Amino acid sequence: MAQIETASRARTADGLSLRDRLAQIDQGILIALVTLVMVAIGAVLVDGFLTGDNLMTILRASSALGILAVGSAIVIMAKGVDLSVVVVTALTAQGAVHLWTRNDFSELQALVVMGMVAITIGVINGWMVAYVGIPALFTTLGMWLLVDGAARVWLLDNQVYILPADSNVVTDLGRGELFGIPFPIVAATVAFLAGWLFLEYTSQGRLIRAYGDNPEAARLAGIPTRPLVVLTFVICAGSAAVAGVLLLGINGSYSTAYGGGKDLLFNAITAAVIGGVSLTGGKGSIFGVLWGTLFIGTFVNLMTLLNLSVEVSSLLKAAVLVVALAFDSWLHPRDEETAKSDDL
Amino acid sequence: MTDPTQGATHDRATVPPLLQLAGVSKSYGGSLALDGVDFELRAGEVHALLGENGAGKSTLAKIISAATAPDSGSVLVRGEQVDFDKPASASAAGVAMVYQETSLVDAMTVAQNLFLGDAKFFNRLQQLNVDARYLLESHNFHIDPSVLVRGLGAAQKQMVEIARAVNKSATIIIFDEPTASITPEEKQQLFLTMEHLKAKGVGMIFITHNLEEALSHADRITVMRDGVVQLTEDAAKMDRDGIVRQMVGRAVEYAPKVTLRTTASEPTLEIDNLTVAGVVQNMSFSAYPGEVVAIAGLVGAGRTETAMVAYGALKRRRIGGGTVRLNGKAVRFRTPRPAIRSGLAYVSEDRKAYGIFSDQTIDDNIYIGYLGSRRRLPLISTRRRRRSVAEGLVKRFAVRTLDPTKARLVELSGGNQQKVVLAKSLTRKPSAVIFDEPTRGVDVGAIQEIHSFIREYATQGVAVVVISSYLPEVLALGDRILVARNGRVVAEFAGDEATEESIMFAAVH
């Protein structure tokens, strides 16, 4: 028996198709190569792209996106998706400013309160998905509209909140530096490291990946699957809250006048997916998400430098996501039959 | 039943065979699934295709039905080279496939399914039903064309599928494990249909695991191993041992039983009057330490559901009543987690759906099972930690692979996957364990090994329950053999008294 199997294994190697070869490479490396090619093209064709300042701008602008992408990737790995990050990001930023300027909260108190609100939203999302059994797509879409509506009715009365001049904490977070590196970049680096350590080296992280691979098998193996699902939504909501505060600090204001952060949600999910996190769950790596984020960041920056309108730029971004999804399913067909028998 | 001259009458050099494959090769992700296969199907013959899981039978069937394209080699239908690029062109050439999981639409009626795909935009339902009845009766199938497919049994679904294939003037029909989930009576009906189609000149490829059926109902038999055709021979000239030797490369025998059970002890696992709406009716049995209780029965007899209830894997609101006692204590587990921690293990019948994490490595799979049996989840889980948990179990269950830290489960053979499932479910020694169809879809060579693991648990004083629909397995393992039918245990035999006939009789009547 042992001989038979080594024999059939030994007969592999040669005659691989292009698809087989690509499928064997980590998708993180693929997207890294694509990003570097894009950087090279940008350096040749676009003036002012390959300067230290501009590269730092790309990293700074990508930092909040990266943090959100890590959170989204973890939810997606557990077969979920969180659309309510849109409202959590906005609510954290705007709510904190509101509490602190009009309700006698100190800056830190306001941040802590809004952080707790974000975690609560995450818990409710997770509870609805894991214990009540509503699909994540509908749960979080409903939560988005619900929280957005509630905040507009009872809490927020503006679409734009300006960070008060006496802010210390948020300004430091957004504009400060640590050892000469802008703080948002430090924060994003920490988030990527933490996400990677969590998924690779903790039991919970391993189990989340396993749950995404086969939820029923995880349940039958005695894994406490429902608390794990709640955990993924809490992590995602937490990452959204941090991203909201960072954006507030970086921009000095938070506005929901144009789209209210839908762009950010779209970018975060795109970054995760083109980085190899499969929407069917259980697949992908934080390394891939990192390069997915850098890809989006570079892409958006190039669009800006080329002076393309917002409409054209979002059109191109959507095209990239669709192409990435098609590429993903070409690379990893669910099985040979479904790949071919569509016209039966 | 089989007429050995039947095949020969068509064996004239002037008539090209119905279907001919020459030098067909196919590789998936770098591993060779078919290696230069030559295969021939004559008109009016039943050609059985045998082999272990992963031998290449399904790949061959997929190539013939054009679900996948060969890397090299040629396919000839009636002597003419064809180049199937999509399934539709294969069915146009008269190739049809009858799957073990049928491809019918559950929510439509039999008639609608029969004419699916070639129906006009507007259909007159009545005419459709009349046509369907005519078609079904012409094959002697007694099925009401106006009922929903959902309500049909497995065999009836197969009949509908066969009728559909024949209606689309199929001359080459591939049966993929058609007898795996149907009753003996239904099997006879199926074989009659095959005879009937044979007389019409249809060529049939009969993929099966059941050697006896192949020997008694096929005209010729082809045995495959590791993507290579080992031999093709008239069925009349072959016997069981010869086929098994070709399938695994050596002879396989079942290990003898050694019973160690002491009669004085209390039962470890006791199921008392368990009822689950619709499937289980007052099921009662018990398992004592040191014995193997084998539960035989047909698919749908309520055995799996009983095990799932005991294990806490079924929604509680579905349980209609009854008690489960573990080590003398009445238990009612809400989830599998407390069941495992109390010493009850369950190895699922459906490896792919409930057993494995196909994208994870062997080490990770086993480690996940280990975490499931622990009271608290440790925070840190390094690769070395996972290795050290998995290492002993990989050896213990003789999982054969190049590198368990790298090999993902999807890349393993059925037998090795099953061994990983065993290792993963048994990271801690249980006091009672239920094996549900422990060797389904497992290569013949690994069956024997898995049986010896199961036996080993019993000799260590564990109460072992084996649910199996495969009678040789029931007879080989059971110290006590129970037969379940319609959700209750209807007969009990001592291991050495039972015969295949007595078990089957109890399971059906």
* pLDDT score for B257: 58
Would the CB atoms of B446 and A1 count as touching at under 8 Å?
yes
Contact assignment for A214 to B356 by CB distance below 8 Å:
yes
Interface touch B424/A221, C-beta < 8 Å: yes
Is residue A47 in some structural domain? no
pLDDT at B361: 86
Q: Report the pLDDT value the prediction gives residue A259, as an integer from 0 to 100.
A: 57
pLDDT tens for chain B, 509 residues: list them: 444 444 444 444 567 788 888 888 887 655 677 888 899 898 889 999 987 766 788 788 888 888 778 888 888 888 888 776 666 777 778 888 887 666 788 788 888 888 876 666 666 777 788 888 888 887 777 788 888 887 777 677 878 888 888 787 788 888 887 776 667 777 787 888 888 888 888 899 998 877 788 888 899 999 888 788 888 888 888 887 788 777 766 555 555 555 555 555 788 888 888 888 778 888 888 898 888 999 988 767 788 888 988 898 887 777 888 888 888 888 888 889 989 988 899 998 888 788 888 888 888 899 998 988 888 888 888 888 888 888 888 888 888 777 777 788 877 777 888 889 988 888 888 889 999 988 877 777 788 888 888 988 888 888 899 998 777 888 888 888 998 888 888 888 887 888 777 887 787 76
Task: Tell me how close the Cα of A341 comes to any Cα of chain B, in angstroms.
Answer: 6
Q: How confident is the model at residue B492, as a pLDDT?
A: 87
> Whole domain around residue B208: which residue ranges?
43-67+85-248
More confident residue, A196 or B137: A196
Q: In terms of Cα–Cα distance, which of A191, A193, A221, A194 is closest to A207?
A: A221
> What is the domain-level CATH number for residue A318?
1.10.3470
Do residue B157 and residue B240 come from a single domain?
Answer: yes
CB A217 to CB B378 under 8 A?
Answer: no
CA quadruple B494, B495, B498, B504: dihedral positive or negative? positive
CB contact under 8 A, A1 and B357: no
Phi, psi for residue A189 in degrees, rounded to 5: -60, -45
Give the three-class secondary structure for B393: helix
If residue B270 lies in a helix (H) or strand (E), which one and from where to where?
strand B269-276
**Distance from A170 to chain B by nearest Cα, in Å?**
32
pLDDT greater at residue A86 or residue A103: A86
pLDDT exceeds cutoff 50 at A235: yes
- Domain boundary residue, one of B404, B427, B450: B427
pLDDT of residue A294: 93
Structure tokens at A312: 């054209």
Contact B371 A201 (CB under 8 A): no
Contact with chain A for residue B445, Cβ under 8 A:
yes
Q: How many residues does chain B have?
A: 509
Contact A337 B368 (CB under 8 A): no
In contact, B45 and B220? CB cutoff 8 Å:
yes
Token pair of B428 as six digits = 């801690």
Q: Where are the beta strands (DSSP E) in A73-227?
A: 160-162, 177-178, 181-182
CB B62 within 8 A of CB B68: yes
Considering its fold, how many domains does chain B have in total? 3
Which chain A residues are within 8 Å of B27, Cβ to Cβ?
A: 12, 15
B400 and B309 in one domain? Answer: no
Tokens at B72, concatenated = 């090299």
A78 CB near a chain B CB, below 8 Å?
no
- Cβ atoms of A61 and A301 within 8 Å: the answer is yes
Residues from chain B that touch A218, judged by Cβ atoms under 8 A, are: 357, 368
Domain with A172, as residue range(s), is: 27-41+57-327
Say if A10 falls within a structural domain: no
pLDDT, position B346: 92
Q: Would A115 be classed as within a structural domain?
A: yes
d(C-alpha B273, C-alpha A32), whole Å: 61
pLDDT computed for residue B156 by the predictor: 77
pLDDT at B412: 78
CB contact under 8 A, A341 and B87: yes
- Looking at the fold, whether B422 and B448 belong to one and the same domain comes out as no
The H-assigned helical ranges of B93-229 are 110-114, 125-138, 154-167, 184-199, 211-217
Flag if A220 and B348 touch (Cβ within 8 Å). Answer: yes
Q: Are residues B260 and B225 in the same domain?
A: no
Same structural domain, B379 and B445: no
Confidence of residue A12 (pLDDT cuts 50, 70, 90): very low
Tell whether B446 lies on the interface with A, counting CB pairs under 8 A: yes
pLDDT of A25 strictly over 80: no
Q: Is residue B24 part of a domain?
A: no
Per the rule left: phi > 0, alpha: psi between -120 and 50, beta: everything else, A307 is: left
Cα–Cα dist A24/A19, whole Å: 9
Contact B369 A221 (CB under 8 A): yes
Count up the domains in chain A and report the number.
1
Q: Check CB contact of B88 with chain A, cutoff 8 Å.
A: yes
Residue with the larger pLDDT of the pair B98 and A140: A140
**Cβ count near A35 (within 10 Å):** 20
Q: In A, which residues are within 8 Å of B416 by CB distance? A: 5
Q: Would residue A18 count as lying in a domain?
A: no
pLDDT category of residue A336 using cuts at 50, 70 and 90: very low
In a domain, B485, yes or no: yes
Q: Tell me the nearest-neighbour CA distance from B225 into chain A, angstroms.
A: 10
* Partners of residue A13 in chain B, C-beta under 8 Å: 30
Q: Does residue B503 contact residue B481 with C-beta atoms inside 8 Å?
A: yes
Q: Does B369 touch chain A (CB under 8 A)?
A: yes
**Tokens, residue B319:** 């349980």
pLDDT at A186: 92
B96 plus B215 within the same structural domain: yes
| Interface residue B67 vs chain A (CB under 8 A) | yes
**pLDDT category, A337, cuts 50, 70, 90?**
very low
* Distance (Å) from the alpha carbon of A334 to chain B's nearest alpha carbon: 12
Q: Find which of A220, A278, A280, A337 to mutate to test the B interface (most B CBs within 10 Å of its CB).
A: A220
ipTM score of complex: 0.79
B282 and B303 in a single domain? The answer is yes
| Interface contact A204-B379, CB threshold 8 A | yes
Clarify whether residues B297 and B369 are in a common domain. Answer: no
Q: Say if residue B164 is exposed, middle or buried (CB neighbours under 10 Å; 0-12, 13-18, 19+).
A: buried
Residues of A in contact with B377 (CB under 8 A): 203-204, 207, 224
Does residue B215 form part of some domain?
Answer: yes
Q: Is the pLDDT of residue A165 over 80?
A: no
Chains A & B: contacts with CB separation below 8 Å: 139
Residues B179 and B302 in one domain: no
Q: pLDDT band for position A8 (50/70/90)?
A: very low
What pLDDT is attached to residue A289? 93
Instruction: Identify which of B31, B335, B381 has the shortest CB distance to residue A8.
Output: B31
Q: Which two tokens stand for residue A321?
A: 């996501």
What is the average per-residue pLDDT within A99-112? Answer: 85
Do residues B398 and B453 share a domain?
no
Question: Is B76 part of a structural domain of the chain?
Answer: no
The answer, for A202 touching chain B at a CB cutoff of 8 Å, is: yes
Pick from B323, B347, B332: nearest CA to B438: B347
Least reliable range by pLDDT among A43-52, A166-175, B299-308: A166-175
Span A255-298, pLDDT tens digits: 776 655 677 888 888 888 888 888 777 788 899 999 999 998 99
B170 and B55, same structural domain? yes
Please indicate, yes or no, whether residues B265 and B360 belong to a single structural domain of this protein: no
Instruction: Kindly list the strands in the beta sheet with B19-28, ordered across the sheet, starting from the edge strand earlier in the chain.
Output: B31-41, B19-28, B72-77, B80-82
CA distance B293 to chain A (A): 22
CB within 8 Å: B377 and A207: yes
In a domain, B176, yes or no: yes
